[in-house]
Amino acid sequence: MKKGLAAVILAAGKGTRMKSALPKVLHPICGRPMLYYPLEAARASGFEQLKVVVGHGAEQVMEAFEDNNLTWVKQTDQLGTGHALMCAADSLRGYSGPLLLHCGDVPLLKAETLHQLQDYHSQHQAAVTVLTAQMPNPQGYGRIIRDGEQILQIVEEKDANEEQRQVTEINAGTYLFDTAFVLEALKGLKQNNSQKEYYLTDIVAAAVAEGKKTRALCVEDPTEVMGINDRCQLAEAEVLMRWKINADLMFGGISMVDPTTVYIDNGVEIGIDTMLHPNVHLRGKTTVGKNCIIETGVVVVDSQIADGVHLKAGSAIEESRIGHNCKVGPMAHLRPGSVLTGNNKIGNFVEMKKSVLGEKSQASHLTYIGDSEVGQNVNFGCGTITCNYDGVNKHKTTVEDDVFVGSDCQFVAPVTIGRNSLIAAGTTVTKDVPPDSLALARTEQKIIKGWRLRKQKKS
């Protein structure tokens, strides 16, 4: 048996109310699957042995958390939350510490609250300690029926009478149990309720019947224990989490013109004095340095942006690296594998893919650079195209330092342009260009004097 405190996280339910082919716990919130958050909260509050009960879409769920050092428990038929914990009983054999049970669809719960729940549970030496909240609108939640400090019963909405429905203290679906007690009591659960399920919540009444202590810790902020059952609640949770991410960043020295329209995934890092304009999306494994300006409509995915970078309106950047003091956009597209070393300028309607640009090289307008290695101080004129694809294979273009490329040139790859060469405007380069040369490939211009006048007279 592994050391450390044990927690069981329930994630086997179908999530019927989501009306989705994707298992509920995989629906993303601020860039991570919902289940990520309960797992992190449990870990951060000292639970090292995490047993996750999966059933509906089990393979998909396990795949999404491949490298996370978890114990997976299968619940083949979803017969209720009590049945889900029964399925984990074997994996808890020999464990005698307090047992945390937490739901995979409660993503906003903080680790601090789980700490408080542990303290409260051990102070009171209860058999069951339930996390609860006062919900202004308790609809859909189990209600807490108390006798002072002792919790007598949890009644599900569907089984509650009119009086019980008036109760606003609800069950968050998070508990600490005396492990030996709960594993024994589970055996006595019945399906005699409106949903014909084994309710975990019935453990409370079972404890009371045995004369044991049952307690509840009521959280201050009810939004923290919000359960996600449908897509409206999903969106609500996303708004709350997004606000928290943005608030933490602003307290940390990042400016946002309108934080209600800035979309930053969990885990994105940003340096101080960076300014984010409205409608900016920073997603996935993205980092942004200090003193950057990110203008409206910019989408950055899985990319590293260094200090002093200016990303102009409407640019899209994926799996790319942008070095110090670069200027990108407006409306530039950096596709996977683009590297700007530093002090580069990428202007409007420039697309890059799998290409490295050395220091100070630039492409200011209407250019495609793909599968290329470009040195320093290279200037691409308006309308430069690397013809990297012959219909079967991709080929590389190499442009050495200090090359000047005039407007409207094509490089038919594979091709190498030697350092300090000049490519004349309108040239289609099909052969390697030696260093320090001029490459010129266009038909010579003809002038026919008076041609227009003669034409006009005829008609």
Which positions are annotated as active-site residues?
Answer: 365
Find the residue with minimal CB distance to Ca ion: 227
Tell me how far, at minimum, the Cβ of 190 lies from ligand UD1, in Å: 13
∠ CA(377), CA(378), CA(383), 5° rounding?
A: 145
Q: Please tell me the count of residues contacting ligand UD1 according to CB under 6 A.
A: 29
What are the counts of helices (DSSP H) followed by strands (DSSP E) for the chain? 9, 39
Q: Is 369 in the site for ligand UD1 (CB under 6 A)?
A: no
Q: Which residues contact 251 (CB under 8 A, 6 or more apart)?
A: none
| Contact by Cβ (8 Å): 242, 263 | yes
Nearer to Ca ion, 227 or 323 (CB): 227
Q: How far is the CB of 106 from ligand UD1 (least distance, A)?
A: 6
**Rounded-to-10 torsion of CA 312, 317, 321, 323:** 0
Edge to edge, the sheet with strand 397-399 lists: 269-270, 287-288, 304-305, 321-322, 338-340, 355-357, 372-374, 397-399, 415-417
Shortest approach of Ca ion to residue 45 CB, angstroms?
Answer: 21
Selected range binding Ca ion among 27-35, 40-48, 201-209, 225-233, rule: CB under 5 A:
225-233
Which of 222, 308 has the CB closer to ligand UD1?
A: 222
Half-sphere exposure of 273 (CA within 13 A, CB side): 6
* Residue that the structure tokens 């006048």 belong to: 453
Closest separation in Å from C-beta 103 to ligand UD1: 4
Q: How far is the CB of 383 from Ca ion (least distance, A)?
A: 56
Residue 235 phi/psi, 5-degree rounding, is -65, -35
Contact pattern from residue 256 through residue 295 relative to ligand UD1, giving x for each residue in contact according to CB under 6 A and a dash for the rest: ----------------------------------------
Binding mask 61-90 for ligand UD1 (x = CB under 6 A): --------------x--xxxx-xx------
Query: Does 105 engage in binding with Ca ion (CB under 5 A)?
Result: yes
Residue 101 touching ligand UD1 (CB under 6 A): no
List the beta strands (DSSP E) in 156-309.
169-178, 214-219, 255-256, 262-264, 269-270, 275-276, 280-283, 287-288, 293-294, 299-301, 304-305
List helix spans (H) across 228-307: 231-251
Cβ contact 136:166 at 8 Å = no
| Binding partner of residue 411 among ligand UD1, Ca ion, none, CB cut-off 5 to 8 Å per kind | none
98: contact with ligand UD1 by CB under 6 A: no
Q: Specify the residue, 227 or 383, whose C-beta has the smaller distance to ligand UD1.
A: 227
Q: Could you give the string, one character per residue 9-38, with x where binding to ligand UD1 holds by CB under 6 A and - elsewhere?
A: -xxxx-------------------------
Residue 458 buriedness (CB in 10 A; 0-12 / 13-18 / 19+):
exposed
Structure tokens that stand for 93 in this block: 């054999």
- Residue in this structure with the two tokens 């050092």, named with its chain if needed: 69
Please say whether the dihedral angle defined by the alpha carbons of residues 380, 381, 383 and 385, taken in this order, is positive or negative: negative
362 binds, among ligand UD1, Ca ion, none (CB under 5 to 8 A by kind): none
**In the window 109-148, what residues touch ligand UD1 (CB under 6 A)?**
141-142
Residue 356 near residue 342 (C-beta atoms within 8 A):
no
Can you tell me the distance from the alpha carbon of 201 to that of 153, in angstroms, rounded to the nearest whole number?
Answer: 8
Q: Which of residues 226-255 bind Ca ion (CB under 5 A)?
A: 227, 229
Nearer to ligand UD1, 32 or 345 (CB): 32
Candidate segments 4-12, 112-120, 267-275, 300-308, binder of ligand UD1 by CB under 6 A: 4-12
With a CB cutoff of 8 Å and minimum separation 6, the contacts of 343 are: 323, 324, 325, 326, 359, 360
Is the CB of 194 or the CB of 260 nearer to ligand UD1? 194
**Residue (109 or 294) nearer to ligand UD1, CB:** 109
Considering the complex, state which of residue 157 and residue 269 has its C-beta at the smaller distance from ligand UD1. Answer: 157
User: What is the spatial distance between Cα 66 and Cα 387, in angstroms, rounded to a whole number?
Assistant: 40
Q: Residue 344 binds which one of ligand UD1, Ca ion, none, with CB within 5 to 8 A depending on kind?
A: none
Binding site partner of 283, from ligand UD1, Ca ion, none, Cβ cut-off 5-8 A by kind: none
Identify the helix (H) or strand (E) that includes residue 347: strand 345-353
Cα 310 from chain centre: 23
Within positions 166 to 225, which residues make up the interface with ligand UD1, using CB under 6 A? 170-173, 199-201
Interface with Ca ion, residue 370, by CB under 5 A: no
Among ligand UD1, Ca ion, none, what binds residue 11 when CB lies within 5 to 8 Å by partner kind?
Answer: ligand UD1
Q: Name beta bridge partners: 184.
A: none
Binding region for Ca ion (CB under 5 A)? 105, 227, 229
Binding region for ligand UD1 (CB under 6 A)? 10-13, 53, 75, 78-81, 83-84, 103-106, 141-142, 154, 156, 170-173, 199-201, 227, 229
